[in-house]
């Protein structure tokens, strides 16, 4: 193939003659978060301190702080100052969604790197926002996914991250590229804020409707508290212990913790399958809900949607099957996104080292239930309508993100120059 004048072929694609290719370990320092021996979950604070950044707080180029985000108290910060993040750092999750990263801005300066996080601190000859943009490119994200270790859960380490190679523009051009892409980010930010506002409204509605503080018209009677285990057709069941294989239309899709978004949707990246003679025992059915049982994602949930296709759930997930006479699955799915639920998760998952909740413990989850299934269903429908509005905004955001990806392909490879 004949190259355009002034461009050259490299191992990361065609780039301008005056650009180079750099490995991350040539232009940045890499640091892994503190292990359990240095920082235990029992040291987290629920009401004061700085946010602890783990894989759950890292989105597509942004940090996502929620009521579930642990806080690190000042005494821990003083003891472990080497794990404080600085503006210009780029943070990754060490397990799970290893292709996600976010740039630390002045707003996040001084936050704390979690045990399942890895940070990159660019050197003075590298413009941090430019490098952060490279990590959002499709090529780099794909490379990270393909080169991560692990079978049921992808894992990232300093060695793998240091091997990432990126197109490297001259230093005076890097800020121009980053600024152009930041304009697209600004629009994405507006949409994200709209989505956040809608989610806040839903949280407020859940606080009222799922506690009986506000009743829907036509319903009355006393609410009661039950344990989750009392409302199931069978005991909570653990998923299959099998390795993921590349996706095949002849095999069932494999549902892992990393395929579930923080808002309970199935979003595989990439979609994978499972090839096991035992798969038939682990297919999800309508009404089934799975709960993450270990790691930083413990407590995360997904209500099976048949539109997602046939799914076999993995061993780090626990399936619960509500008794339809006692518990509306959609009501349960809403309940396990509330602050009340996440406070219970945080309290019950605090162990030494890796946090976790087993099936017997999930069975003790206290539920506040209306006296009739009809009221549970009506509440779930109101909240589902709000989810539909949020989904429409998310679709607009995703289209904008696709447009930004097109800009990135042009600018981050030097195909379109800004000088």
Structure tokens at 416: 């379109």
CA 152 – CA 243 distance, rounded (Å):
6
Cα dist from 279 to 255, 289, 381, whole Å:
12, 17, 33
Can you give the pTM of this predicted structure?
0.65
CA atoms within 13 A on the CB side of 378: 16
Give yes or no for residue 193 having a pLDDT over 80: yes
CA 274 – CA 252 distance, rounded (Å):
6
Structure tokens at 390: 């949020």
How far does the chain reach from its first CA to its final CA, in angstroms? 26
- Number of residues written out for the chain: 419
Q: Percent of the chain, pLDDT > 90?
A: 77
Phi, psi of 6 (to 5 degrees): 85, 10
- Cβ neighbourhood burial of 155 (10 Å; 0-12, 13-18, 19+): middle
343 Cβ contact list (under 8 Å, min separation 6): 46
**What residues are paired with 285 via a beta bridge?**
none
pLDDT digits (tens, 9 = 90+) for 368-411: 999 999 999 999 999 999 999 999 999 999 999 899 889 999 99
- Cβ neighbourhood burial of 70 (10 Å; 0-12, 13-18, 19+): buried
CA 61 – CA 83 distance, rounded (Å):
20
Are the CB atoms for 304 and 285 separated by under 8 Å? Answer: yes
CA 346 – CA 352 distance, rounded (Å):
13
**22-167, CATH topology level:** Adenine-n6-DNA-methyltransferase TaqI; Chain A, domain 2 (3.90.220)
Q: At what angle do helices 128-136 and 174-209 cross, to 10 degrees?
A: 60
pLDDT digits (tens, 9 = 90+) for 195-225: 989 999 999 999 999 999 999 999 999 999 9
Please say whether the dihedral angle defined by the alpha carbons of residues 241, 245, 251 and 257, taken in this order, is positive or negative: positive
What is the CATH number that goes with domain 224-369? 3.90.220.20
Phi, psi of 120 (to 5 degrees): -115, 130
Phi, psi of 269 (to 5 degrees): -150, 90
365 Cβ contact list (under 8 Å, min separation 6): 227, 228, 341, 344
**What residues are paired with 320 via a beta bridge?**
289
Give yes or no for residue 166 having a pLDDT over 70: yes
Residue-by-residue DSSP string for 27-40: HEEEEEPPPTTT--
The mean per-residue pLDDT over the stretch 105-119 comes to: 95
**What residues are paired with 45 via a beta bridge?**
71
Parts of the chain belonging to CATH 3.90.220.20: 22-167, 224-369
CA 28 – CA 23 distance, rounded (Å):
9
pLDDT digits (tens, 9 = 90+) for 239-270: 999 999 999 999 999 999 999 988 899 998 78
User: What pLDDT score does 22 carry?
Assistant: 97
**What residues are paired with 166 via a beta bridge?**
22
């Amino acid at each position: 193939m004949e190259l355009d004048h002034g461009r050259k072929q490299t191992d990361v694609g065609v780039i301008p003659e005056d650009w180079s290719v750099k490995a991350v370990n040539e232009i940045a320092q890499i640091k892994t978060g503190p292990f359990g021996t240095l920082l235990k979950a029992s040291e987290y604070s629920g009401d004061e301190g700085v946010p602890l950044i783990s894989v759950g707080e890292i989105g597509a180029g942004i940090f996502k702080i929620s009521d579930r985000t642990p806080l690190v108290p000042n005494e821990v910060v003083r003891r472990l100052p080497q794990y404080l993040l600085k503006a210009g750092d780029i943070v990754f999750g060490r397990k799970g969604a290893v292709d996600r990263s976010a740039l630390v801005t002045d707003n996040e300066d001084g936050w704390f790197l979690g045990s399942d996080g890895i940070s990159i601190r660019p050197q003075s000859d590298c413009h941090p926002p430019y490098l952060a943009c490279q990590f959002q490119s499709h090529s780099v994200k794909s490379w990270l996914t393909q080169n991560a270790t692990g079978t049921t859960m992808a894992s990232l380490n300093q060695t793998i991250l240091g091997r990432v190679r990126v197109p490297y523009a001259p230093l005076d051009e890097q800020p121009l590229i980053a600024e152009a892409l930041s304009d697209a980010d600004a629009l994405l930010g507006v949409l994200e804020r709209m989505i956040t506002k809608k989610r806040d409204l839903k949280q407020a509605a859940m606080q009222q409707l799922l506690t009986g503080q506000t009743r829907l018209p036509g319903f009355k009677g006393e609410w009661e508290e039950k344990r989750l285990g009392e409302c199931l057709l069978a005991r909570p069941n653990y998923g299959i212990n099998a390795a993921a294989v590349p996706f095949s239309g002849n095999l069932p899709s494999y549902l892992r913790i990393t395929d579930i978004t923080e808002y309970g949707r199935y979003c595989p990246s990439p979609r994978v399958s499972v090839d096991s003679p035992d798969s038939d025992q682990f297919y999800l059915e309508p009404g089934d809900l799975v709960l993450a049982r270990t790691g930083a994602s413990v407590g995360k949930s997904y209500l099976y949607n048949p539109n997602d296709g046939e799914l076999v759930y993995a061993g780090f997930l626990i399936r619960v099957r509500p008794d339809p006479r006692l518990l509306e699955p959609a009501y349960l799915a809403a309940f396990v996104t509330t602050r009340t639920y996440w406070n219970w998760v945080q309290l019950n998952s605090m162990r030494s080292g890796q946090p976790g909740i087993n099936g017997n413990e999930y069975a003790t989850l206290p539920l506040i239930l209306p006296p009739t299934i009809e009221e549970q269903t009506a509440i779930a429908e109101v909240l589902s309508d709000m989810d539909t509005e949020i989904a429409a905004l998310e679709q607009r955001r995703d289209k904008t993100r696709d447009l930004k990806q097109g800009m990135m392909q042009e600018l981050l490879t030097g195909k379109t120059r800004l000088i």
